[in-house]
Amino acid sequence: MIDSAVTNVNEVNESEVTHETVKFTAAEKIYAFFIAVIAFLWVEFQIFNPAGFITTAINLVIIISAIVFLKKNGCKLTLHNKVIAVVLCLFAFVFSITDNGFIKFLAGVFLFGAGAYFVYSAAEGKKEMERYLPVAMMKAIFEIPFTNFGAEVMAGKSAVGHSKAAGNIKHIIYGLIITVPVTFIVASLLMSADKGMEEMLNRIFSNTFSENSFETFLHFMVSIPCGLYLYGMIYGNSKRSSLDVIDSGVCEYRLGEARMIPNMILYTAVTPILILYVMFFISQANYFLSAFAGSLPEGYTYSEYARRGFFELCAVTVINLFIIVFISFLSKKSGKYKPAALKVYTLALCISTIILIVVAISKMVMYISEYGLTRLRFYTMWFMILCGFVFLLIIVKQFRYEMKFAAWFSGIFTVMLGILCFCSPDYVIAKYNIDMYKAGYLDELDADEIYDMSADAVLYGVQSGELDARKAYYVSVYHDDEFIEYLNIPALIIREELGEIELTENEKASYHRLKHFF
C-alpha cells in the first residue's frame, strides 16, 4: 500500500514536471496570439453580429489556419480529411448566400461540430470515419479541447514571459492601477473648477463608457474562453499520442457489458406496442388513405388534418427511435449476433414509422397546396424526409451488420443539411406563394409574412413586382448604421435592383416593426 502511494506521488510529480517544461515552437507561440485575435472576430461576427461575407472569411481563415498548423506539426491529410475540409469550406459560404438567421445558426453549429471532428481525424490521419463516431465526437468536442484548455495561456507566457517588453508591460499596468484613484480625484476637482474642462471630460467619459464600448468589452470577455477552447482543440490534437486512438475492441466490449436484459423481456414489452400500431392502422385506414388520395376526410379542416399528422409523426418517431435504441443496446443477445426475432421487431417498428412519415408528407403537401408555404411547413417537410432516411438505414443495418451506420448517417445528414442551407428556403417559400397566388391557387398573398422572413424572400418579391419597393428596401438593406447586416448576396442584389432609396422618417417608423432582427 505504501509502495502504491509512493508510486502515485511520483506519477504526480512527473506529470507536474512535464506540464511545467512544455516547450512551444515559435509557430505555436505566434498561433496562440493569432487565435486570440480570430476568436474575438469570430465572437463578434459569428455569434453577436453575423455579417455575411465577413463571417464567411473568418470561418475560412480558421479552417485554413488549422490545416496549416496541423501540417506544420507533421499531420498529413488523407483523402477522407480533404473531403471534410472541402465540405467545411463550402458551408462557410452559407453566411454569404443567405440572410436567414436560422439557416446561419444551423450552418454555424455544423461548422463547430464537423470542424472539431475534422481536426481530430486529420491529426490521427484517419482514412475513413470511425465505426464508433459518438465516442470520437466526445473526444473531439470535449476531452481534447478542455484537457488542453490552458495551452494558449502557456504559449503566450512562453513567448513574452521572460522578455524585457513583458517586464515593461507589467510595470505599466502596476503604474496605471496606482494612478487610477488619484486621477479620478484630480479630474473631479478640475471639473468643479472649470466648466469647459467639465464639458470636455464629460464627452471623453461618455465616449469611453458608451453602450458600444461596453458591448465590445463584453464580446472581448466572451472571446477569451472561445480562444482557449479553439487553441486547446487544435494544439491538443496536434500533440496527441497513439494512446488516444479509439479501440474498436474496447468499445465493443463496453457495449457488451451494457447488454444485460434478457431478450424475452424486451419482446414481451414491445409486442403490445406493435399490436396497438396494427390496431391503429386498421381503425384509421380511411383517415390515412385520404392523404394519398388528396381528399379531406369528413369532419376535418385542412389545418386540423395536417396538424394531427405532424404531431403523430413526431410522437411515433421519437417513441420508436427510443425503443429501437433501447432494445438494440440493452438486449442480452444483440450486436453482431442479433437473433432473427430482434431483427423482426426492429423492422416492424421501422416500417410502421415510415408508413406514418409517408402519410404525413402526403397530408402536408395537400395542406400546402391549399394554404401555401411557411417556414415551419418547409422545415417540417425537410425533417420528415430526414427521418425517413434514418429509418431506412436502420432497416438496411438489420441485414448488413458490417454497414457503418455512423458514416452513412453523417453523409446523408450532411447532404440534407447542405440542401436546406443552399436552396435558400425563404426564397423558395416566397416564390411558391407568389407564383401560386398569381396562378389563382391561393386566395390571398400575405406580403407581411414575406417581409418578416429575410432578404432572401424579399428578393423574389422585388423581382416579381409584388412587394412595395420602398418597404422592401428598408427591411432588406436599410439598417441605420448597421452596415454589416446587408453584406450578403440577396440584400446586395436588392440594393442593386432598387438603387439607393431615401426614406422619410415616417416611412422608417412605419416599416420598423418589419425589420429583420436575425
List average pLDDT for each run of 10 residues in the chain, which is 518 residues long.
Answer: 44 41 86 95 90 94 96 91 97 95 95 96 89 90 93 85 59 66 73 70 64 78 94 91 63 71 87 83 66 62 65 75 85 80 91 84 82 90 91 92 90 97 96 93 87 90 89 73 72 87 78 55
What pLDDT, in 10s, does the model give residues 473-509? 887 776 544 556 678 999 889 988 888 788 777 777 7
Number of Cα atoms under 13 Å in the Cβ half of residue 491 = 25
The residue type at 247: D
How far apart CA 149 and CA 144 sit, in angstroms, is 8
How far apart CA 427 and CA 200 sit, in angstroms, is 51
Counting every residue written for the chain, the total comes to 518
| Per-position b or e across 53-73, b if 16+ CB within 10 A of its CB | bbbbbbbeebbebbbebbeeb
Q: What is the pLDDT of residue 12?
A: 41
DSSP 3-state assignment of 331? strand
Q: What is the pLDDT of residue 145?
A: 94
Cell of 281: 392502422
Q: Please classify residue 356 by burial: count the beta carbons closer than 10 Å to its beta carbon, then call 0-12 exposed, 13-18 middle and 19+ buried.
A: buried
Residues 6+ apart with CB under 8 A from 468: 447
Residues 6+ apart with CB under 8 A from 168: none
Residues pairing with 331 in the sheet: 261
Cell of 517: 432582427
* Helix 302-330 and helix 248-258, axial crossing angle in degrees, nearest 10: 100
Cell of 442: 391561393
Q: By the 8 A CB rule, do 331 and 259 touch? A: yes
pTM of structure: 0.84
Q: In angstroms, how far apart are the furthest CA atoms of the chain?
A: 93
Q: What is the pLDDT of residue 483?
A: 52
